[in-house]
Structure 1
């Protein structure tokens, strides 16, 4: 099973340090991890360092991967080509880095990704005609169709309505467990983090604040220190943790 560990990971933009020696325990396939922190905390930069798109000190250790390109990434802006249909754009993502010699199994994987996300009906639509939320679901399909062992998602629910947010996060959690995939998602909704993720990693000013089981990390004390709000966490009738924010301080 794939594992990922960050060891003193740092990154700079020019002379400005964005990440400072981020070290984590080992995250294993089958888990869903929330990457948390306020705006400009360094979340997107951390993803770029993991992907090797930025240079810096420290190391990313990915062990147990069984394919040549185990990591897939869904950025905040998907950059999809407006002249393509949804089906074509997902197929293109499937063929990324390969010759365009499309095989039946490639088409089957596109069909599966669209079906898993409930967007089969969008297949023949032009990307340019879609809403922001629909484009975001297509971006998720483009990442999933690569069958990654490590899936990085940068604010995957930011453009989705509440129904689609719950749907997508539920699907990602299920796929992580079913496929033994490690999913790391940058999230602003801490309630979603509490409900759907197993582990949480919190950044503030490019520095790791805390890392561990989500319910142990997302506490009123952390919310006050990092997000500058007073809040409490209570259990609903189904035993799930619920975040109640009282005020900004």
Structure 2
């Protein structure tokens, strides 16, 4: 479990996040949603210990990180328990995909890479549906393929928590689904905490157990998608009119409304009153 107590982050004297309180339970996928510039990436970087807290604290595995607790020994111990995949992750190295994935266990590697490590790396590549690319140089892959390779490397670390910033941004629909299927399956099988930033609201509603809605540097709302996602909430956070439908599994589906459709809906609502 990870607990955030009144977490605040400032940069250059300007507040970026403030008053964030949340409990992130293990075995669940927690999706962070919100408009551009709301503070989603800042939240992930604060969790990873990449940005110092200006107030509040974060508790994880018996440790508490607060303002001023990012000294070298503490920071290393904190990060060793986490796997963070930034939005702009890349690997322009003269290495094969398999070698890049094996680096996920860099802290435990010896001069000789044993068979167990190689088998684990191939299993991660297979889960990411790119095992056929194992011998290719990472720099020769498409952006989406590199994204999948970097995700496989993240899984190799066997962390207490996964922190993924827009992991599907460079992927086509097939690989978005494949990656998020693996994220959810790994999260439940290992009982780890997973926090993933997603821009696609429908993917967030489909794959997340819990949503964290960030807007204007605050946690506006949190909870299961089915009970949380409403036209009023999405409209107030994103400044757009939407319909919220539900798919065959009961997951919310957010449908943006054009001006004409929105006006017609407003007229129907007024007529019904």
Match in the other structure for 1:76: 87
Q: Does 1:55 align with 2:52?
A: yes
The aligned counterpart of 1:40 is 37
> Which of 170, 179, 196 lines up with 1:159 in the alignment?
170
- Alignment pair present for 1:140 and 2:151: yes
More helix per residue = 2
Report the equivalent of 1:183: 194
Q: Which has the higher contact order (CA 8 A, sep 6+)?
A: 1
CA RMSD of aligned residues (A): 1.8
- Where do 4+ consecutive residues of structure 1 move more than 3 Å? 97-101, 237-240
Q: Per-residue CA shift, 1:25-74, capped at 9, x if unaligned?
A: x2221101110111111111111111111112221111379xx6321011
Aligned residue for 1:86? 97
Q: What is the CA–CA distance in structure 1 between the aligned matches of 2:44 and 2:253, rounded to whole Å?
A: 28
Matched with 1:196 is: 207
CA positional deviation for 1:121: 0.8
The Cα of 1:104 is off from its aligned counterpart by: 2.8
Partner secondary structure for residue 49 of structure 1: helix
Q: TM-score, normalised by structure 1?
A: 0.91
How big is the shift at 1:99? 5.0
Moved more, 141-150 or 103-112: 103-112
Residue correspondence of structure 1 range 234-249 to structure 2 within 5 A: 234-247=245-258
Q: Distance in 1 between matches of 2:165 and 2:56?
A: 22
CA deviation profile, 1:160-201 (whole Å, cap 9, x unmatched): 001111111111111111111221110000101111110010
Structure exhibiting the larger radius of gyration computed from Cα positions: 2
Secondary structure of the residue aligned to 1:225 is: helix
1:209 and 2:220 correspond: yes
SS at match of 1:53: coil
Give the corresponding residue for 1:5. Answer: 3
Q: Deviations over 1:185-224 (max 9, x none)?
A: 1000010111111001011121111111122222211110
Within the alignment, does 1:17 sit opposite 2:22 as a pair? no
Cα pair 1:38 1:227 within 8 Å, conserved: yes
- Give, in angstroms, the shift of residue 98 of structure 1: 4.1
**Contact persistence 1:229–1:247 (CA under 8 A):** no
When residues 161 and 198 of structure 1 are mapped into structure 2, their CA distance, relative to the original with a 3 A threshold, is same
